[in-house]
Amino acid sequence: MSGLELPKALTIRELPRSDRPRERLVDLGATALSSAELMAILLGSGGAGRSALQIGQSVLVEAGGALRWIARQPVAALTAVPGVGMARAVTIHASLELGRRMAAEGRQDGTPVRSPRDVVEYFAPRMEDLPVEEFHVAVLDAQHRLERDITVTRGILNSSLVHPREVFREAIAERAAAVILVHNHPSGDPTPSADDRTVTEQLVAAGRLLDIPVHDHVIIGRGRYTSFAEAGLL
């Protein structure tokens, strides 16, 4: 006698309308859906003998339930989940990047930058989950409004890579009234390193010579930040 067969999982099309992710989004709005349901919509269809919803759940299990974990991994890492090929992995990463960019748009153009929290509000959505360090210069006008965000380096931060010439070249061209230095720590810990302090000292000194003051150096961590101005390190 043959063994009992497990019941076949229902495809999303076989589910009642009230349980289908796409229909639920249309009827109730995206906020009513779980992360697994939203992931299923991105995946579009099932594969490897499983529904899109089951694959979406597996993606989240692999990430420990953290979307930020997915964003920090290489695209190819997602392909370890059965049913997720490179095209689907790219789609998931693209959607997370769109969400990050939308969050970065939260600060309206022309709003003065008055405090480290204003800097964090603008830069953290784009920088706190980056896998490598980026060094940015926020160029301010006379009203302390953000004129430009200049990416100076991408990679390991040290004093040989962040040269005053590269930092202030475009600030001079933009007739900057002041600048704020911003970089991230991929470890998530925003505690300044020895190189961070050295770079800051060099750039503050250069800013004095050029009459373009460095108002702050903000290090973005994961959910935390360090402001050199607040800490009395400038």
Residue ranges of domains in the chain: 12-104, 116-227
> What pLDDT, on a 0 to 100 scale, did the predictor assign at position 1?
43
d(CA 37, CA 97): 18
What is the chain's pLDDT, residue by residue, as a tens digit (234 residues)? 445 454 455 566 667 666 788 888 888 888 888 888 999 999 888 877 788 888 988 998 988 888 888 888 888 888 999 989 999 999 999 998 888 777 766 555 567 888 999 999 889 988 888 888 899 999 999 999 988 888 888 876 554 467 788 889 888 988 899 999 999 999 999 999 998 999 899 999 999 999 999 999 999 999 899 999 999 998
Task: Describe the strand order of the beta sheet including 178-184 as a list of residue ranges.
Answer: 146-154, 134-140, 178-184, 214-220, 225-227
Choose the CATH number for 116-227 among 3.30.420.40, 3.40.140.10, 3.40.50.300, 3.60.15.10.
Answer: 3.40.140.10
First to last CA, the chain: 80
**Whole-prediction pTM:** 0.63
- Do residues 126 and 116 make contact, with C-beta atoms less than 8 angstroms apart? no
Centre a 10 Å sphere on the Cβ of residue 46 and count the other Cβ atoms it contains.
19
- The partner residues of 153 in beta bridges, in order of sequence, read 135
Calculate the dihedral angle through the C-alpha atoms of 25, 31, 37, 42, rounding to the nearest 10 degrees: 70
> What pLDDT, on a 0 to 100 scale, did the predictor assign at position 159?
47
> What pLDDT, on a 0 to 100 scale, did the predictor assign at position 102?
77
- Do residues 12 and 21 make contact, with C-beta atoms less than 8 angstroms apart? yes
> What pLDDT, on a 0 to 100 scale, did the predictor assign at position 49?
78
